[in-house]
Amino acid sequence: MDRTLSDKDRQIVFNRDGYRCRYCGTTIPPFHVDHVYPWSHNGETSVENSAVSCQNCNSKKHSSIGMWPKPIGYFEKKSHINLPSMVLFILSIVLLYNSLDTVLNYPSFMLMGKLFGLLGVLSGLIATVVHIRGVDE
């Protein structure tokens, strides 16, 4: 029984898994094509029993049974809003509202209104960055 996939099958596995470790999700090479059910325990050498694994996860798993890869697509970008970005977004709306209210209703506090506006814009930008980073990770 051959232990190594053909170059064609290895490429199929890499393409299927998106050049990402199916155990931890890293995209940092070097990568290995790992037997999900170990070859040393009579696991077959096939595309179906293979997963991309980073050096670290491949070393941890070695020939053990019970360390299973995440489902295909598990680490893909998810379009969800995480809690920190939602809180910052709400804060930015409140600050922008307060800046408009202050500028329109209290002209003598125009500087404070501009400060609220600046803080609102900054917190909105931070909320966007936090959301994008949360989706990437």
Q: Are 81 and 131 in contact (CB under 8 A)?
A: yes
Q: Is residue 131 very low, low, confident or very high in pLDDT (cuts 50, 70, 90)?
A: low
CA–CA gap between residue 53 and residue 133 (Å, rounded): 23
How do residues 70-127 score in pLDDT, each as one tens digit?
888 888 765 556 677 777 778 777 877 777 777 778 777 778 777 777 777 777 777 7
Q: How far is CA 60 from CA 23, 30, 40, 91, 108, in A?
A: 10, 15, 15, 43, 65
Q: Are 3 and 39 in contact (CB under 8 A)?
A: yes
64-74: pLDDT as tens digits = 887 888 888 88
Would you list the domain boundaries of the chain? 7-61, 83-136
User: Could you read off the pLDDT of 7-46 as tens digits, one per residue?
Assistant: 999 999 999 999 999 999 999 999 999 999 998 888 899 9
Three-class SS of the chain = CCCCCCHHHHHHHHHHHCCCCCCCCCCCCCEEEEECCCHHHCCCCCCCCEEEEEHHHHHHHCCCCCCCCCCCCCCCCCCCCCHHHHHHHHHHHHHHHHHHHHHHHCHHHHHHHHHHHHHHHHHHHHHHHHHHHHHHC
